[in-house]
Every structure is written in C-alpha cells, then in structure tokens.
Structure 1
Amino acid sequence: MKKIKISLVVSAIALTALSACKKLELYPYDSIEVTQAFKTIKDAQTWDNGLYGILRGRVYGSYVVSQDVQADQLNASLDYGNRNGSPHRWGDSFLADDGAIVTAWSGYYFGIADVNTAIAGFDNITTTSTAEAATLDKSRGDAYLARAYYYHNLIIRFAKPYEPATAATDLGVPLLTAYDLNAMPARATVKEVYDQIIADLTKAKTLLASTAGVQGSRTFTIDAALALEARVRLHMQDWVGAYTAASTVIANGKYPLISSVTNLQNYWGTDGIQEDILQLNATSTTEAPNTNNIYLGYLSGNGLYDPDFIPSKWVVDFYSTSDIRKATYFSAKKVAISGQTVSDISLVNKYPGNPSLYSSSSTNYYQKPKVFRIGEVYLIAAEAAAKAGNAANALAALNALRVARGINSVSSSGTTLIQDIKDERFRELAFEGFRLFDLKRYHEGFTRHDPQNLNIINIGASYNTLSVPADAAKFTWGLPTNDLIVNPKLVQNPGW
C-alpha cells in the first residue's frame, strides 16, 4: 500500500492506492484512492490548492533562518538556548542529521513528490470547455513552477555552486520527475539538475503565459515564472538570460519600488503588496505560515525583548541614516537577556508579525510569505548586466533601487561596480535567506565581527569571532544521514 498526502487549504486528504483483495476492490471511506483523484477539473483545482498549502509550509521559518544564522550577520544571544546553534557554530557539531538539513531536504522532496503525482494525474483529466482547458493549464503551470522552485532550493543547499567548467561532473541532488515510492536514485550532476529546472520553467512559462502578474498575487503568474528564471539563471552565470528575465518583469511597471519609510514599514509590518510578485496567503488558523521568530522575542508581560539572535553592529551601520530600510529592518529595543536589561539594542524588525494575523493581543510573528519581490529582481538585473559587461544597464537597475531607498546613486565601473551591487544586495535582502548562498556562489569567506554588546551574546571562536574561509566544506550542506543509510547510491558531500 502506498500513501500520498496532499495538504489542502482547509484539510488534508490521504490518497491511497490499495491492492485488490480477492475479487473485491474496496476504497477507504475517509480518503481518495490515487487513481480516482484525477477525474474532473474540480480535482485539478483541489490538487492545485494543495500545492499552495505545501508551498506555504516551505517558505520562512527554518527554510530562511537556518542559512542566515550560519552566515555573518548575526550573533547568538546568551538566551538563544542552542536553537539553530549547530549551523551558527559550524564546526564538528554541525552534522548531516541536523534539523535544518533534514527539514529542507525532506520538505522540498515531499513537495516534489506531490507535484510529480499531480503532473501525471492531470493527464487523466478530460476538459469539456475552453475555460476548463485554461484552468487545467494553470494547474499544470503551477506544478512545473513549484517543482523548479523546490529543485533550485535543493541544489543551492546540497551541491556546489554552478560553475560552467565543472557543472557536468559536480554532484547535484537526486532527480525525481515521477512519483515512485521505491525509487533509489543516485545524485544527478549539477548541470542535469539545472537543465531540469530550466525545462520546468520553460513549460511553466508557456502554461502561465495568459496568467498576468498582479501586485501581491497569491498564486503563480508569468511574472513569478520570470522572477524565478532570473534567480536561477543568475546562479547559472547565464548573465544574458538572467538580465532578460529580470528586465522583462521590471519593464512591465507593475511593481513600483517603495520610496518612503512609512510605506516600507507597512509593506513589511502589515504585508503590503506593492513590491510583491508572489505573496502567499496566510491566516492565523487554517493557513498558518512558518515564522521568522528568532529576532525579537517579545516578552508581553513586561514589554521587553529576549531574542535568539541579534544583528552585529557593522550590519546595522552598513545602512546610512537616510536609507529607509534602516528604520524598517531594525528597531532599537530594551532587551532582557540572561538577567541583564540593556537599552537601545537594534533588533531585526523585518518580521514583527502582522497584527491582522494575531491570535492573541500580542504578536505571533505570522506574516504572509513574500516569495518573489521586485527588489531582488532589480538586483539580479544589475548583477547580470555588470557581469555581462553592460555597465549602463547595471547602473540603471542598481541606482533605481538605491534612489528609491533614499541613498545616492553611484557611477562606478568594473570591480567597484560589482562590489557596489554586492553591497546593495546585502542591504536589500538582509535576513531573507540569501546571504550564505551569495557568499557561496561568490566564493567568499567571512569573519564575524563588531557585535553590538559583548555582555549579552555568546562569545568565542565559534560565535562572534568565527572565521570561515572561502569554499569551506559546510557552505554546501551534507545529505541527511538517514537517506545515505536507506539509499546506498547516494554519495555524501566532502566534510560531512
């Protein structure tokens, strides 16, 4: 007996394929047998809704914070309780059975299994009208785009960065494009995985071509497909392709950049949509999101804060006073940590919790996940153009973002321009899960430095002064130990 579970917006339905029992085949009364699950266009919509439920569970939470605490922006407070401790410390304590690793690996592959079942099942549905055909195409497009999204998140975590000279031989992740409970695939190459991602993106763009992008779309659109394509091609060092996809989204003008601190604070604090290409739905009950709750630690009883992680002083200082992101991404708080009360500690305030999603009088840190937003797309356009040798286009994209955020434009070129783009990427995308993977693809190490207050953080060579060389083994995560035991075809990454 095999079971496939699909998370729906309001419930979970188990899809179970049963063997015939003598001459009588019985289906369970409380679930749907998988061969019966794809009959009508309504079935397609049910699976499509389930796809978004699964996707929402793979954004934010450990899918973002694990790699951010591993990088150089944050210090572990004395009260962090070893939550996310292993990736933060690197070293021998960061093992391949760590929760961050297992969660990402199993979570993305669960999503892929659901998508593969849906893609195969959609072929069994016969449409009876043009409208039904369009609905089915949308569901198919959503599935292909979700699979591309999952595989890209797997490859950037569990494989070396894409290098054109070695991608055809570097080990990637196992490729599964059909649901098979008993499959034991070996690792595909990095190039094979990226080729599959591009193939899925190509199909998704065709199927979603008539699904126009809108601000804060709750579902995939053609603009979401282009945003993911731009991100993927940037990692592939396909500078022309990345710029083309990114500039197409920018040129349509649907997602104007925010230029006032009030609007930017509302955008993050109350889930504004102006810059969002895809913002998943969330509620405080039936569609609860993952939370990025390590940054504030609000103590409702006394109004103080007890965060797990605190941004370093150099990170806060990296933003000029005129930068509207500084007053949005950070907030000075009085903290109570390990028996000490300290005022004016800048905490990450990018995810304070949307008051409309509170389940009580104080924050539960629920936010509607921002999957693709235009700020990243401008940075992709800038970097891709610069790497392709087109400084004019790079400066146009870079300065559009800088000016909107309240800082001066630049007129740099060459390596200085590249560094300006990296710096702006650091500022714009801070605490959104990009930093570690950017350092990895740049082949840059780091040394943590300049914390805000030594008295309230863990100190030492594994914490505030940790130094990690470029291309250190654990920039690439290890494959989970259990999977290596179950599937002897898998090969572990070096250093694990």
Structure 2
Amino acid sequence: MGCNAVLDNIDKSIGSQQEKDRVKAEALAVRAMYYFRLVNLYGEPYNHNPQSLSIPLKLTSDISAVPMVQATVAQVYDRMVSDLKEATSLMDPLPIARRDYHINQPAIHILLSRVYLFMEKWEESKAEADKVFDQGGMIMDMTGLTTGTWLNYNNPEVEWLFGGNTQPNQSTYIPAASFRATFDANDIRLKVGITVLSQTFVPLVTKLPTGSDLAQTIRTSEAVLNRAEANVQLGNLAAALKDLNNLRRNRIVGYTDVNIGDKAGLLQAVRDERRKEFCYEGFRWFDLRRYGMTGISHRYQQDAGGSVLQYKLAPNDPMYTLPFPNSLLLRNPALKQNPSGRMGDRIGQ
C-alpha cells in the first residue's frame, strides 16, 4: 500500500523532476520486490507452471470492498519486470547514491537479474548483472576478517541495507553438520558466520546482525552468482568459472582456482556457492522451488534428549506452494485456496 500510495501521488507532489523520478523508481522497485516474495510463497514456481493462479495484483492505493481475483504467476512476473525496467529508466540517468538506506541503481539491476533468473531468461539475467559492475559494483576481499558481520554498509558489496532480521533466533539456531561440512575449512563465511561454543561444542549462527540493526541486503555477490548461473545455462562455461573462482578467492584464505569442465558439475558448484553465500538470508526456499522441487526431509528435535521427528516433502509436493491463511479467504471470497491448504497436517515420523 505504501508503494502504491507513492506511485498514485508522486506526480502531484512538490520537488524537482529528478527528485520525483528517484522516489518513483524506488517505489516501483520495492513493490516489485514485495511481489517477488509473495508470488514465490503463494504461487507455483515460474519454471514449473507459469499459468497457475498466484496472488491478486493490487496496483493502486484505494480501498475497495470488491473481491480481488488472482493473477497468474506469469502476470505477476510480467508486472515485476515492467516495474523494474521502468525503475531503471528513471533512476539510471541520476547520480548513484550509496550507503544512504535507499535502494539504488545497482540494487535494482540485481533485483531484475534475479527475476530474469527465476524466469530462466539467461541472457537478460546476465545483462542486468553486467550493469551492476558497469555502475561501480565490486566484490569485497573478506579473507582478512576475523570477527563480526559483513551484512552492513561497511561492506562495499552492499548496495542496499534494509529490513529486519531473517533469523531472529539465530543465537539458538543450530546449522546442520552436513551443511557446515560443505564449507572449505578456510572459508571466512564459516569462521565469522557460524560459531562453535567451546563449552558445549554447539555451532550457532552468528552471521546476521542482532537487536534492532537492519539485517537484509542486496549486494554484488548476487550479481556474480546470477551471472555465473546464467552463463552456465548459456554454455559460457569459462566465464561462469571465472566468476565462481573470483568469488571464492575473496572468501577462502589461500584459495586455489578450480577447473570444472562439465556443465552439470559447474552448475552444481555455482548453486552450492549460492547456498553458502546467502544462507539464513531467505534465498534457499525459493531456490529449491526453481531447482525442481525435489524431495527433502528434515530431522527436528525440540529439546536435547527429546524425540526426533522426521518431516518430509515429496518431489513436487503441493506444500512447496504455501496455503493462504483462512483469514484472507474470509476477507476475499474470490481467492482460491492452494492445493496445500486442502491437505492434512504434516506429522513428523
């Protein structure tokens, strides 16, 4: 609603045309980001069923009692692309501002690259990632870090810092041993992101800021990994490998470049790097959906010594698309519940 209110009224506001263009671009980009999250929670993956129903598209700030019908996944993605392209056309001619808590030009191009990646429009995703570096984006050498978080404006990769913590209970969150084992022993992201308490030998997430600090970012490492994945899919393996090695070199102390010559192996390496780079930041669930919704299982134990439950999702499980809350169905009778909302409770075994 906030974005729509801005867009409905910005042209009637006071201020210079440049100021209006910047604010309008920000509102368009942030609205697109919100819709990206919503459509990937309540709609099927774009590459699986783009014509399936997802969420209503509300593009004005007026309040209406008329029930709103759902748009298709494809229609929501088309709107995101349209909004982000308009945002870049408004924002790109303006001076680039960094570290002022406003979304900027490189961050918008990263978002558009992300949307194209999910649409499997590889050329377009690569092109948007390239623009990030044309606009001064850079990769930080993290190998000298010994403590603290890197998800703030002290990190030159961070183009936009916003939002609350994605893992508010990180001080009690224990990462899986199998996941920790995927990190190189000299990977700084492991050393300053996951801490092992010496008195209990319990590994805890320490990657994210704590308290009321802003904790979510859009940063240039995503542009690198989006471009690498797109290049693999396009058959540009040398370019993809260059990006992969460059990112790892800035994350792993004493790193030696690898040579991965086959497409499947390189694609998996890029995806594994994406998981490590963005763990606990809200990327993984959306990626698992677009990777093909494979069967997954998780062991869960509420308390030490308590029973261990096994929760499973079958391949292409309807639960990969979340059900709408009943409160929304009551408010909007035009809303059609997702198949996952008609399933029984998942009881761990």
TM-score, normalised on structure 1?
Answer: 0.63
1:151 is displaced (CA, Å) by 0.8
Query: Within the alignment, does 1:203 sit opposite 2:86 as a pair?
Result: yes
Question: Which residue, out of 406, 417, 437, partners 2:286?
Answer: 437
CA–CA distance in structure 2, aligned partners of residues 266 and 163 of structure 1 = 34
Q: Contact 2:11/2:20 (CA < 8 Å) preserved in 1?
A: no
1:293 is displaced (CA, Å) by 2.5
**Mapping for residues 129-144 of structure 1, pairs under 5 Å:** 132-144=16-28
Question: Which residue, out of 56, 59, 63, partners 1:181?
Answer: 63
* Structure 1 counterpart SS, 2:202: strand
Query: Within the alignment, does 1:351 sit opposite 2:208 as a pair?
Result: yes
CA RMSD, 1 decimal: 2.4
Q: Contact 1:215/1:255 (CA < 8 Å) preserved in 2?
A: no
Query: Within the alignment, does 1:415 sit opposite 2:264 as a pair?
Result: yes
CA–CA distance in structure 1, aligned partners of residues 150 and 94 of structure 2 = 24
Query: Within the alignment, does 1:378 sit opposite 2:224 as a pair?
Result: yes
**Which residue matches 1:303?**
none
Query: Within the alignment, does 1:493 sit opposite 2:343 as a pair?
Result: no
Question: Which residue, out of 270, 275, 279, partners 2:157?
Answer: 275
- The AA in structure 2 aligned to 1:277 is E
**Which residue matches 2:174?**
310
1:491 is displaced (CA, Å) by 0.7
- The AA in structure 2 aligned to 1:239 is W
**Mapping for residues 219-298 of structure 1, pairs under 5 Å:** 219-262=102-145, 265-268=148-151, 272-280=154-162, 289-290=164-165, 292-296=167-171
- The AA in structure 2 aligned to 1:378 is V
CA–CA distance in structure 2, aligned partners of residues 256 and 273 of structure 1 = 9
1:255 is displaced (CA, Å) by 2.5
1:470 is displaced (CA, Å) by 2.4
Query: Within the alignment, does 1:456 sit opposite 2:304 as a pair?
Result: yes
Q: Contact 1:184/1:489 (CA < 8 Å) preserved in 2?
A: yes
CA–CA distance in structure 1, aligned partners of residues 156 and 52 of structure 2 = 40
Alignment CA distance shift 1:457-1:120 (3 Å): farther
Q: Contact 2:149/2:193 (CA < 8 Å) preserved in 1?
A: no
CA–CA distance in structure 1, aligned partners of residues 156 and 279 of structure 2 = 19
Of the structure 1 ranges 414-423 and 479-488, higher mean CA displacement relative to structure 2 is found in: 479-488
CA–CA distance in structure 2, aligned partners of residues 455 and 486 of structure 1 = 38
Q: Contact 1:328/1:349 (CA < 8 Å) preserved in 2?
A: yes
**Which residue matches 2:45?**
161
Q: Contact 2:165/2:214 (CA < 8 Å) preserved in 1?
A: no
Equivalent pairs: percent with the same residue?
A: 26
* Structure 2 counterpart SS, 1:430: coil
Deviations 1:181-216 (A, max 9, x none): 114211101111111111111111111113444553
Q: Which has the larger radius of gyration?
A: 1
CA–CA distance in structure 2, aligned partners of residues 352 and 457 of structure 1 = 30
CA–CA distance in structure 2, aligned partners of residues 459 and 428 of structure 1 = 32
CA–CA distance in structure 1, aligned partners of residues 305 and 109 of structure 2 = 41
* Structure 2 counterpart SS, 1:242: helix
**Which residue matches 1:394?**
240
- List alignment gaps of at least 5 residues for structure 1: 1-112, 282-288, 297-306, 335-341, 354-364
Tell me the number of residue pairs that the alignment of Structure 1 and Structure 2 aligns: 336
CA–CA distance in structure 2, aligned partners of residues 142 and 352 of structure 1 = 25
Q: Contact 1:216/1:273 (CA < 8 Å) preserved in 2?
A: no
Q: Contact 2:166/2:282 (CA < 8 Å) preserved in 1?
A: no
Query: Within the alignment, does 1:150 sit opposite 2:34 as a pair?
Result: yes
1:447 is displaced (CA, Å) by 2.7
**Mapping for residues 98-117 of structure 1, pairs under 5 Å:** 113-117=1-5
1:264 is displaced (CA, Å) by 7.2
Task: Indicate the structure whose relative CO is greater, using CA pairs within 8 Å and at least 6 residues apart.
Answer: 1
CA–CA distance in structure 1, aligned partners of residues 37 and 242 of structure 2 = 29
**Which residue matches 1:44?**
none
- The AA in structure 2 aligned to 1:474 is M
Q: Contact 1:217/1:280 (CA < 8 Å) preserved in 2?
A: no
1:272 is displaced (CA, Å) by 2.2
Question: Which residue, out of 422, 438, 446, partners 2:296?
Answer: 446
Alignment CA distance shift 1:459-1:215 (3 Å): farther
Deviations 1:326-352 (A, max 9, x none): 101111115xxxxxxx61111001125
**Mapping for residues 476-491 of structure 1, pairs under 5 Å:** 476-491=321-336
CA–CA distance in structure 2, aligned partners of residues 445 and 261 of structure 1 = 39
Q: Contact 1:255/1:374 (CA < 8 Å) preserved in 2?
A: yes
CA–CA distance in structure 2, aligned partners of residues 488 and 177 of structure 1 = 19
**Mapping for residues 75-90 of structure 1, pairs under 5 Å:** none
CA–CA distance in structure 1, aligned partners of residues 47 and 140 of structure 2 = 32
Alignment CA distance shift 1:247-1:134 (3 Å): same
* Structure 1 counterpart SS, 2:186: coil
**Mapping for residues 37-116 of structure 1, pairs under 5 Å:** 113-116=1-4
- The AA in structure 2 aligned to 1:194 is Y
TM-score, normalised on structure 2?
Answer: 0.88
Alignment CA distance shift 1:153-1:291 (3 Å): closer
1:126 is displaced (CA, Å) by 5.6
Runs of 4+ in 1 over 6 A off after TM superposition: none
